[in-house]
Amino acid sequence: MTDIVQRGLWFEEFEIDARYLHRPGRTATEADNVLFTTLTMNTQALHLDAAFADAQKPFAARLINSMWTLSTMVGASVAQLTQGTLVAQLGFGEVAFPHPLFAGDTLYTESTVVEKRLSSSRPGQGIVRIAHTGRNQDGTVVATASRSVLVRCTPRGDDL
């Protein structure tokens, strides 16, 4: 019997300009929005108060919390890119939400490896910069973000 363990990529496996399409997508629900918004103590009425949000232009609807969108977009990449190989998330660069996400929309995420380099201070590890793009079911970009992660290099025999 062969054991196959799902994991992310070792530093050496990341390819510049490689684009990963993370599937399945994730359909945002009213429950997701209310739970995430209240768990994070965000009292923005545009997320919680239907009567208020419905009266606001230009969208006239509750918006999915943009931090849910960002978290879900990054989370969708974990199994394919960093599961078990991540040392630390180092930070985010540009984050933008050019179009809102609404309950019932499905978020599809893609990630592109922008650059990578070996760490100068942490042997056996490297820094990878990844650009994430989130699109709704119509292909409209709803979020973009770049992030830097510290990942392990391929283990040698003495690292196992």
What are 45-104's pLDDT values in tens digits?
Answer: 999 999 999 999 999 999 999 999 999 999 999 999 999 999 999 999 999 999 999 999
Is pLDDT of 159 > 70? no
Is pLDDT of 118 > 80? yes
Look up the pTM and report it.
Answer: 0.92
Which tokens sit at 160? 């196992």
Write out pLDDT tens, residues 50-62: 999 999 999 999 9
Check the CA dihedral 65-81-94-140 and report its sign.
negative
User: Minimal CA–CA distance to 91: which of 35, 14, 147, 141?
Assistant: 147
Which of helix, strand or coil describes residue 92? strand
